Amino acid sequence: MSLCPPGGTYKHPGGMAASTAEKVQEVREVTRIERIGAHSHIRGLGLDDALEARQTSQGMVGQLEARRAAGVILEMIKIAGRAVLIAGQPGTGKTAIAMGMAQALGSDTPFTSIAGSEIFSLEMGKTEALTQAFRKSIGVRIKEETEIIEGEVVEIQIDRPATGTGAKVGKLTLKTTEMETIYDLGQKMIESLTKEKVQAGDIVTIDKATGKITKLGRSFTRARDYDAMGPQTKFVQCPEGELQKRKEVVHTVTLHEIDVINSRTQGFLALFSGDTGEIKSEVREQINSKVAEWREEGKAEIVPGVLFIDEVHMLDIECFSFLNRALETDMAPILIMATNRGITRIRGTQYLSPHGVPIDLLDRLLIVSTKPYEEKEIKQILKIRCEEEDVEMSDDALTVLTRIGMETSLRYSIQLITAANLVCRKRKGTEVDVDDIKRVYSLFLDESRSTQFLKEYQQEFMFNEVGESIDMLNECFY
């Protein structure tokens, strides 16, 4: 494999001559364009040691009180069956706070994030989906012996079939000071090796059971190759002895994973059982007692995690009563819910309730509220997002965008960043300025202008008459 340009140069195939189109394909193959999620800039809750929130830190801006409350919740993670509701208007950073909590917990604490509507699946029951989500959020730290392969990469060769489509074929040659072995690679392994950007001269360990690849560093014998070195490149000795070793490792698995290992029906019996993804309650009970046994023997340790349910008002009354009950077990994780609704109907009933959550469940919750952002906070968030999306923006443009954010919504103004950047690049500019913002503001409607537009031109849209009759029908029902 050739070298990967750092940072990834992103080229638009559309604006290129046809002859260079092939080359672009190649570039894209080597470094995939990193996609950026809406909350990718969040690195933690931005609290200091005394749990006081800093105004701007770790990607978080404002919402000082809500963030401080979230920090307190993290401290009480050891106690089972605690639940928190984050309530606030759309675009006030509810999900951001939950993500920040996940980041602050670290990678060893299980954090499961689901949306309320996710549990309505035809594959499995609502309560089964919720139980699985609960069990995914409880970790068990346990010692296990696994087989690992540890060695220096001599050669890595990944071939695409001549037709251009179909499965890739890969070979990996590893060595230690004593021996050398060639491995054939499966699809998944090829993918993860490419993702980790493993190349000749790297020292890697591969966990055979999970397929997890860890780069330990570069080999000392390659210390003279200055070409592909970042500032954090670490040099390590080539491993000794056999390539395959048995090692005792401590790792965290979730209760759900243990459930699955023990419930998988073997061989032809799986044909009859019909693998619907549901796990029998007997299996779960068995596992619970087994885990309790391990804990008493000192073999395992329970790591309580966090379950985050976004858009919790989408759950129905059955789910809420299930949650009530589930929170009482000693195996319950911390439950964080978020909603943007006020007083509304509880799904599955005719009753109105605050946040669409029944009063008895609300009574068990600690409620944290988020408030709309102020102007300077919006400006700060937009600035952070510009950095995250690699967009250069002039101060004037940022001020205009902030105003747009104040008048419409934070989300709309964040969307405009990328759009404005594209417009700016088309005119071969390096910095997004006020004109670019104006341009995209006129190109894309925000929610209120779109509503306005519909009000004006409603008559000319299709099925307009039908819409009116539906309105009438609705009035008859309610």
Partner 1 sequence: MAAAWLEKLKSAQKTCLIQDGRRKIHFTFPDGQELAEEYDLRNNELVVRKWRKRGTMGGIGKWETEVGDDSGMKNLEVEGMVENSSNPVFVRKDTVAQFQWRIRNLPYPLSNYKVSVDDEKRELVIRTENKKYYKRFNIPDMDRLHLGLKQDQISIAHANNTLIVSYQKPKEVLDMEQSLQAEFKKMKASKDGDIDCNPS
> By the criterion CB under 8 A, which residues form the site for partner 1?
142-145, 149, 171-172, 175-189, 206, 208, 211, 241-242, 253, 257-258, 261-262, 264, 266, 287, 290
In whole angstroms, the minimum distance from the beta carbon of 445 to partner 1 comes to 48
CA distance 436 to 199: 42
Beta bridge partners of 344: 353
Spatial distance between the Cα atoms of 163 and 291, rounded to a whole number of angstroms = 51
Closer residue to partner 1, CB minimum distance, 144 or 431: 144
3-state class of 238 per DSSP?
coil
- Going from the C-alpha of 398 to that of each of 57, 313, 418, 449, the distances in angstroms are 20, 35, 13, 21
Between CA 76 and CA 201 the distance in angstroms is: 46
Q: Compare residues 290 and 425 and give the one whose CB is closer to partner 1.
A: 290
Q: Which is nearer to partner 1, 151 or 333 (CB)?
A: 151
Nearest CA to 90 out of 384, 383, 311 is that of: 311
Contact 126, 147 (CB under 8 A): no
- Which CB, 207 or 318, lies closer to partner 1? 207
Least Å from the CB of residue 32 to partner 1: 21
Least gap, CB of 220 to partner 1 (angstroms): 16
219 beta partners: 236
Do residues 406 and 378 touch, judged by C-beta distance below 8 A?
yes
Shortest Å distance, C-beta 77 to partner 1: 24
Q: Which residue number, 183 or 322, has a Cβ lying nearer to partner 1?
A: 183
Quickly tell me which residue has 């060769």 as its tokens.
157
Q: Are 319 and 120 in contact (CB under 8 A)?
A: no
Considering the complex, what minimum distance in angstroms separates the CB of residue 200 from partner 1? 17
d(CA 456, CA 30): 50
Nearer to partner 1, 272 or 477 (CB): 272
For partner 1, give the closer residue by CB, 177 or 233.
Answer: 177
- Report DSSP letters for 375-441, one per residue: HHHHHHHHHHHHHHTT--B-HHHHHHHHHHHHHS-HHHHHHHHHHHHHHHHHTT-SSB-HHHHHHHH
Cα dihedral 49, 67, 336, 389 sign: negative
Task: Using the minimum distance from each CB to partner 1, give the nearer residue, 264 or 427.
Answer: 264
Q: How far is CA 402 from the centre of its chain?
A: 27
Handedness of CA 81, 334, 65, 416 (dihedral sign): negative
Least Å distance, CB 299 to partner 1, is: 9
Q: By C-beta, is 69 or 190 nearer to partner 1? A: 190
Closer to partner 1 by CB, 156 or 416: give it: 156
Phi then psi for residue 274, to 5 deg, are 65, 100
DSSP-based three-state secondary structure for 206: strand
Nearer residue to partner 1 within complex by CB, 208 or 427: 208
Smallest gap from residue 96 Cβ to partner 1 (A): 35
- In the complex, the smallest distance separating the C-beta of residue 264 from partner 1, rounded to whole angstroms, is 7
CA distance 126 to 119: 6
Tokens 């939950």 belong to which residue? Answer: 98
CB of 290 to partner 1, least distance (A): 7
Closest approach, Cβ 124 to partner 1, in A, equals 21
Closest contact distance (angstroms) between CB of 277 and partner 1 is 17
Instruction: Tokens for 72, please give them.
Output: 């307190």
